């Protein structure tokens, strides 16, 4: 059963690993200086070590804020924080686990009607502010140190790369250790009361009950790193500001230093031994510190490199996280307590809602019995009764007794005032939480509405542009088609002219030859006959129609590639000569012209046409030339 209750803490640990490991290794993995696998292994080992060795300090402070005394309450508080963190991680908002758990603990305090220690709360909240500021300051100092070092030493670029890579691993290990030490309080702090009493002996070292609990939390964080942190690393690595590998070392180191400072008991003791005030050991928001460090670097470089949109998103997460976790915790506790009847506090029943119900019942009983009773559960009334008893008994005592009673009375009065303050604080807190919640829901809805509206209008614009583009494309296509058609007609006309020229030339030469034959018959002069014979031969040689025909047919084939392709696909059985006949018919040439071009008789052309019709399966009403022209 204990393990079941611990499950929510383990889930929170998983969320922390998924989200906060990105703060340590996000830049290194994002800049591809360290592979994710190597980063995950180192982060896991050192987170566990940090949690087990140095996790107690911050846990103690968190326990002061609200000591969740029942396992059911701890389960619900951790679950609320975990769900908040998971939900915000899902939306890729670098969320703070510290703020989630603090919000959830305040929710628990409020539910149980217990006062929230304002001193501790202000200490925690002040570190939320100090964390990023310190991160920025450290980043700036470290930047200058690094800059001077590389300038003075002058290392080869590749050696520098190797050093940076090694440093990233080293700093990452330190960061993971600090993360484990500082943030294990968020994961397992509320379960400390459930820690086993016995020690676990490993031979070389022993683990106390709390350390065993932290070991379990550390393992949960490691699982979170391996299973889910890569997504967030992508966001942190290149989201807020493009980081170089050198800047990555600075940000991670400054982040680690801040976390270490706020979790190291030895450092705090050392500072105290110097006569300085102790360092508060508080779970600091790892995300806030890393953002502070990156901002410090960004501001140092003029601030133009910072992606303020993402920064805004992160800031929204900071405010929303404790508010959401607090409200969620309050309602979850009510649900667990009243529906599952699981005690959420060691003083169960002493919560705001059940108190009111009890009060109402008590009033009803009072009315019935008409007797004067004191509502026991209300602390303020008990105080007033005590004070009235004191005032009566003061008169019957000696001076010493009077003084003692007087001081007791004062003490009770001051306790009563403190409780009143805490009651007002609780009321103010819930009002603030509700107001904040309403404000953020309203803002979220508003931004969603605006975003949807923007998307819709952009879509409409894109659609219009696409329509206009499509129309232009269609017009252009039509124009192109028209041009192509014109070109084709022109080429076809050219072909026809060429063919007719060929035929006419042939006819003319034939006519010349006939005339020469006639002249030869009319004369007996041998010299003239010889000359005429030479002329006849010359004409015959020049006539050489075959070459012209071949050139013409090549021309025809070249220009009618598409037509041949269509013919081939529709009538694959046609021979080459039949295809050529189709082209001539398409050019609207007569049988006689075709006969002259192909050097066959017109009758053969007619016969070929007939065979072509049969091959093409044309009906008696279909005209061959029309069919071919429409093809």
Partner 1 sequence: MFFKKTKSTIRDIDEFLDTIDQGILVFKEGVKYYLENDEDNFSKNLDKLYKLEAKADTIVLRIRNEFFEHSLIPQYSADVVSLLDHLDDIIDTAKENLFQYDVEVPDIPKKLNSEFSKLTDVSCAAAEAVIPAVRSFFNNPSSVKDNEHRVYFYEKETDVLASDLKRKIFKDTKHLKLSQKIHLRYFTLHIEQISDRAEDAARILSALEIKTKD
Q: Which residues bind partner 1 (CB under 8 A)?
A: 31-33, 147, 151, 154, 156-159, 161-162, 165-166, 244-247
Give whichever of 244 and 381 is closer to partner 1, judged by the CB atom.
244
Contact 629, 496 (CB under 8 A): no
Residue 156 CB, shortest distance to partner 1, in Å, is 5
Min dist CB 147 to partner 1, Å, is 7
C-beta of 29 vs 52, nearer to partner 1: 29
Helix 97-111, helix 2-30: angle, nearest 10: 150
- Indicate the residue among 140 and 271 with the shorter CB distance to partner 1: 140
200-201 and 206-207: which strand pairing? antiparallel
Smaller CB distance to partner 1: residue 155 or 478? 155
Q: How far is CA 92 from CA 231, 319, 454, in A?
A: 8, 16, 22
How buried is 493 (Cβ within 10 angstroms: 0-12 exposed, 13-18 middle, 19+ buried)?
A: exposed
DSSP string, 478-507: HHHHHHHHHHHHHHHHHHHHHHHHHHHHHH
CB of 160 to partner 1, least distance (A): 8
- Cβ distance 152 to 181 under 8 Å? no
Cβ distance to partner 1 smaller for residue 30 or 73: 30
CA-to-CA dists, residue 87 to 174, 178, 238, 449, angstroms: 28, 25, 22, 21
Closer CB to partner 1, residue 245 or residue 560? 245
Q: How far apart are CA 54 and CA 46, in angstroms?
A: 11
C-beta closer to partner 1: residue 156 or 561: 156
334-343 — which CB contacts under 8 Å span 24+ positions? 334/111, 336/72, 336/75, 336/76, 337/72, 337/111, 342/72, 343/70, 343/72, 343/73
Smallest gap, in angstroms, from Cβ of residue 148 to partner 1? Answer: 12
Nearer to partner 1, 31 or 422 (CB): 31
536-545, long-range: CB < 8 A, 24+ apart: 539/509, 539/512, 539/513, 540/513, 542/509, 543/506, 543/509, 543/510, 545/502, 545/506, 545/599
And the tokens for 321?
């996280």
Separation between Cα atoms, residue 162 and residue 612, nearest integer Å: 80
Query: What would the two tokens of residue 3 be?
Result: 């393990």
290 Cβ neighbours under 8 A, 6+ residues apart: 23, 26, 94, 135, 236, 251, 252, 255
Nearer to partner 1, 166 or 335 (CB): 166
Nearer to partner 1, 4 or 304 (CB): 304
Residue with tokens 């029943």: 349
Residue closest to 24 by CA, chosen among 169, 222, 140, 191: 169
The residue (of 161 and 578) whose beta carbon lies closer to partner 1 is 161
Q: Give just the sign of the alpha carbon dihedral 183, 186, 187, 193.
A: positive
Q: Which is nearer to partner 1, 158 or 526 (CB)?
A: 158
Q: Which is nearer to partner 1, 45 or 223 (CB)?
A: 45
- Whose Cβ is closer to partner 1: residue 158's or residue 341's? 158
Could you give the CA distance from residue 216 to residue 222 in angstroms, rounded to a whole number?
Answer: 10
Rank residues 174 and 584 by Cβ distance to partner 1 and give the closer one: 174
CA distance 507 to 543: 10
Least distance from C-beta 146 to partner 1, angstroms? 8
Q: What distance in Å separates the CA atoms of residue 168 and residue 25, rounded to the nearest whole number?
A: 8
Q: How far is the CB of 32 from partner 1 (least distance, A)?
A: 4
In angstroms, what is the minimal distance from the CB of 157 to partner 1? Answer: 5
Q: Are the C-beta atoms of residues 244 and 32 closer than 8 Å to each other?
A: no
Question: Terminus-to-terminus CA distance in the chain, angstroms?
Answer: 84
Write down the least CB distance from residue 98 to partner 1, Å: 31
C-alpha to C-alpha distance for 245 and 269, rounded to whole angstroms: 35
CB 18, min distance to partner 1, A: 24
Q: How far apart are CA 173 and CA 175, in angstroms?
A: 5
Structural tokens at position 77: 């508080």
Gap between the Cα atoms of 377 and 375, Å rounded: 6
Q: How far is CA 51 from the centre of its chain?
A: 30
Least spacing, CB of residue 242 vs partner 1, in Å:
9
Number of C-beta neighbours around residue 55 at 10 A: 28
CB of 304 to partner 1, least distance (A): 15
CB of 183 to partner 1, least distance (A): 29
CB 217 within 8 A of CB 187: yes
Beta carbon nearer to partner 1, 83 or 297: 297
Smallest distance from partner 1 to CB 241, Å = 13
Q: How far is the CB of 46 from partner 1 (least distance, A)?
A: 18
Q: State the nearest-atom distance from the C-beta of 553 to partner 1, in Å.
A: 41
Q: How far is the CB of 158 from partner 1 (least distance, A)?
A: 5
Strands (E), 262-410: none
């Amino acid at each position: 059963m204990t393990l079941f209750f611990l499950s929510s803490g383990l889930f929170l640990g998983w969320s922390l690993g998924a989200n906060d490991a990105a703060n340590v290794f996000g830049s290194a993995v994002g800049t591809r200086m360290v592979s994710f696998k190597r980063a995950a292994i180192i982060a896991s080992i050192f987170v566990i070590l940090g949690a087990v060795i140095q996790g107690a300090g911050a846990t103690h402070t968190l326990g002061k804020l609200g000591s969740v005394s029942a396992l059911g309450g701890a389960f619900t508080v951790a679950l609320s924080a975990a769900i908040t963190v998971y939900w915000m991680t899902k939306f890729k908002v670098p969320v703070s686990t510290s703020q989630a758990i603090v919000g959830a603990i305040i929710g628990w305090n409020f539910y149980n009607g217990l006062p929230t220690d304002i001193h501790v709360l202000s200490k925690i909240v002040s570190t939320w502010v100090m964390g990023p500021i310190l991160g920025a300051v450290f980043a700036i100092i470290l930047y200058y140190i690094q800059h001077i070092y590389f300038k003075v030493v002058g290392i080869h670029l590749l050696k520098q790369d190797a050093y940076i890579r090694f440093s990233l691993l080293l700093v990452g290990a330190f960061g993971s250790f600090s993360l484990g030490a500082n943030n294990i309080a968020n994961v397992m702090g509320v379960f400390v009361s459930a820690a086993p009493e016995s020690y676990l002996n490993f031979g070389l070292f022993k683990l106390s009950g709390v350390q065993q609990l932290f070991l379990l939390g550390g393992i949960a964080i490691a699982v979170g790193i391996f299973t889910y942190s890569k997504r967030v690393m992508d966001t942190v690595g290149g989201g807020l500001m493009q980081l170089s590998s050198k800047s990555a070392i600075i940000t991670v180191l400054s982040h680690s230093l801040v976390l270490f400072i706020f979790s190291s008991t030895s450092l705090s003791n050392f500072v105290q031994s110097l006569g300085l005030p102790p360092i508060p050991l508080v779970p600091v928001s790892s995300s806030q510190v890393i953002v502070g460090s990156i901002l410090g670097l960004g501001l140092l470089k003029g601030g133009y490199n910072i992606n303020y949109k993402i920064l805004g998103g992160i800031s929204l997460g900071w405010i929303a996280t404790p508010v959401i976790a607090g409200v969620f915790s309050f309602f979850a506790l009510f649900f667990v307590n009243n529906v599952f009847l699981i005690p959420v506090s060691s003083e169960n029943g002493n919560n705001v809602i059940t108190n009111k119900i009890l009060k109402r019942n008590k009033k009803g009983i009072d009315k019935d019995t008409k007797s004067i009773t004191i509502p026991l559960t209300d602390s303020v009334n008990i105080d007033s009764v005590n004070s009235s008893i004191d005032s009566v008994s003061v008169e019957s005592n000696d001076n010493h007794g009077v003084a003692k009673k007087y001081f007791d009375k004062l003490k009770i009065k001051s306790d009563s005032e403190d409780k009143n303050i805490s009651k007002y604080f609780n009321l103010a807190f819930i009002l603030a939480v509700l107001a904040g919640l309403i404000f953020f829901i309203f803002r979220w809805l508003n931004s969603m509405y605006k975003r949807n509206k923007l998307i819709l209008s952009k879509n409409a614009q894109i659609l219009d542009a696409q329509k206009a583009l499509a129309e232009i494309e269609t017009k252009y296509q039509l124009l192109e088609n028209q041009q192509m058609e014109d070109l084709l007609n022109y080429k076809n006309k050219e072909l026809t002219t060429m063919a007719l020229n060929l035929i006419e030339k042939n006819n003319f030469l034939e006519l010349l030859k006939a005339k020469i034959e006639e002249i030869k018959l009319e004369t007996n002069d041998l010299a003239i006959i010889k000359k005429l014979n030479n002329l006849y031969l010359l004409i015959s040689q020049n006539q050489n129609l075959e070459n012209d025909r071949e050139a013409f047919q090549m021309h025809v084939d070249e220009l009618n590639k598409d037509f041949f392709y269509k013919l081939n696909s529709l009538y694959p059985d046609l021979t080459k000569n039949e295809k050529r006949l189709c082209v001539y018919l398409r050019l609207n040439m007569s049988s006689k012209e075709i006969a002259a071009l192909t050097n066959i008789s017109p009758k053969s052309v007619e016969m070929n046409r007939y065979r072509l019709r049969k091959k093409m399966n044309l009906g008696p009403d279909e005209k061959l030339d029309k069919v071919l022209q429409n093809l």
